[in-house]
Structure 1
Amino acid sequence: MILIKNGYVIDPKSGLEKTTDIEIEEGRIVSIGDRKPGDAYERVIDAKGLIVAPGLVDVHVHFRDPGFTYKEDIATGAAAAAAGGFTTVVCMANTKPVIDNLDTLTYVLDKGRATPIHVLSAAAVSKGFKGQELTNFEALTEAGAAGLTDDGIPLRDPLVVREAMRRAKELDIPISLHEEDPAFIASSGINQGAVSEKLHFGGAPAVSEQVMIARDCMLALDTGARVNIQHISSGPSVELVRTAQKLGADVWAESTPQHFSLTEEIVLEKGALAKVNPPIRTEADRLDIIEGLKDDTIQIIATDHAPHSEEEKARGLEKAPSGMIGLETSLALGITNLVHAGHLSMMHLLEKMTAKPAELYHMNAGALKVGKPADIVIFDEHEEWTVTDFKSKACNSPFTGMKLSGRVKYTICDGEVVYED
């Protein structure tokens, strides 16, 4: 048995928020707050002064396996997740080969089971990510796919999207969408605006996102499908989702830490490390995203953890790939830029990183409850640290060198300590 004592327990699913103890036995929570004196424990964790919460859930990560394991692999991705307080992640399908078939899906899930955390995977919406022919949704979900997405590539044909939503609705599985119409994009990864003009870089305008979100919100309303707008990046996009929700569409949205923490100016300082799809945009967009988080238009915080090698990111703005790692800084960025900045309570932040992502994907995760798996993060809200080394195989983060508040001290998955600071 493991005892976590004296911790300030926050569970968004039940609303529990108080100083209490948690007992763990055989991988499950056996008591919260009502332990019997005299019990013997294999380990006691004194969490006085620390927050004890459900293990974090990230529904948008790239572990690059199979096909691009020089960037990351499932083992190193899982280690990065554990260091960031995550006990459950959902991998995206843009591997090589694409996860549009049972063999590749099974490969990822089997390798995930060999890690100390829960590694799930989405499957592709379209065969080969070509946006034309749909995959076998039924077979893939029966084999364990958590959801469906062509993340990294927008689905351009509205009839294909509508049929995909219709079939996803029948199966009661979420479909997650990368919303950038390439017809509007001169060059991807940097917002088309003042900074791109200064750098003589074509850029990606916000309208490239907005036109696709408008279309897909209406298709979601039409089909009744559960649709997740991934890594939302602009203020009008938030308003489009808000309007669709008011109309009754089952539309969800994610925000990444980079989109609520940074503005396009970071590109002038960090160069290609700040190149990401969709781009980091203006201060007005950042503030609108925060408003969307506050009023729950944006229900989920997800990292879009996207590792690349140092050599790739050193190619310069034009040739470097878009993307940044995020698992090991996500919680601290939320604490620093949302909680300590006065935008969200700790309960509200944790809801977006535990209960809500679990709800979107119908997971048995994201909550502290007797009888449930003991997936837990313990962290110091106030400990300051400077972003330096990573458990990830990659180090492509624009946050390197920044001082943040909020340090993960322990991550526990299925009752086992899988990370300890």
Structure 2
Amino acid sequence: MASDIVPVPKGFSFSATSAGFKYSGRDDLMLIVSETEAAATGVFTQNAFQAAPVLVAKANLAKAGGRGRAILVNAGQANACTGEDGMAACRQTLKLVAESLGMAPREVLPASTGVIGARMDMEKWAAAVPRLVDGLGQAGPSQAARAIMTTDTFPKLAWSSLSTASGEVRVLGMAKGSGMIAPNMATMIGVLLCDADVGSLWWHEAVAACADKSFNSVTVDGDTSTNDCVLALANGASRVKIDSAEGRQDLLSVMMEVCQTLAYMIVQDAEGGTKIIRIKVKGAKDHAQAELAARAVGHSPLVKTAMFGEDANWGRIVCAIGRSGAEFDPGEVSVAVGGVPVFSRGMPSGGDLDGLLAPHMRRGEIPVDIELGDGPGRYVLLASDLSYDYVKINADYRS
């Protein structure tokens, strides 16, 4: 294994290479391989236009019964909205890799990110795969995480471990994403690796639960991509079997910590973003109602631009709550920004709110606390602000 400061789960090897799909002078293709067959799962975008790698990964997981060996990710070409030609190209990329590794194509899970509609350049794939396979073990997770970046400004890695009576279990995650972020399943592209011995069904349930409480609870611009997915392998190489209720809960907590750290990084790296808005809603009739209110605030361009401009315009928050579709009594609603009450039970709070809020609005993270009533519903959403640079980045994205 190439030297890397990241503690890697046992039994995994990494490779990264430059295929020249879109970006010159940098790696844009990465491969992760488990030494042994692993419990495999994925959570995928709910966008109706699902990219070829999403459809192929789903099919492979079904064929292999929740088992797998490798994850293959490219940047620069999304292979989305490319029809049957795109499906055939995706299958061919897996065949190229699988044959070189001596495994079945169904054991390889694909993911792609980049421009929608761009077709795979199969000549570049054919030239790059031998280098990719030959380089297996010569890269670490940091290089792999860099290879899947698009408009990201830094690679996103997180890791943790669990000490048990039988030994240590490691969990490692990586993700890419900074724009087109409002996942409705997982994240833009995420990878979760673990060396615990776990059952395939529990592994799927655990990854889905982690995604729901992390990647599904962030937004940058309200867009759910065609390619969003989290792919996850647990290979048992630590020889620590996790099969008790307590052990599973402990491992789930470690996995959740890793996923939530990655989700925070995604919002932190939002295209042109300067601030994180931590929106907490409580007192709703149920959790779904709380989520409606939180997402209306987090998606609102008016709220986001006010945060960017450090303008304590709480009326935009209240307005967003009002159009969210959540059920509540307007006279029971209260809002605080930076811990400062600005709207109490349907009425503006008194005092010099602009003066009180000014230091809070300058911070890199701004808490927005919303109380809709006295119900049990709660939800937390991380959102970014909306800046001039977001428009510039996305106006020039294909150039």
TM-score after normalising by structure 1:
0.22
The structure number with the bigger radius of gyration is 2
TM-score (norm 2): 0.23
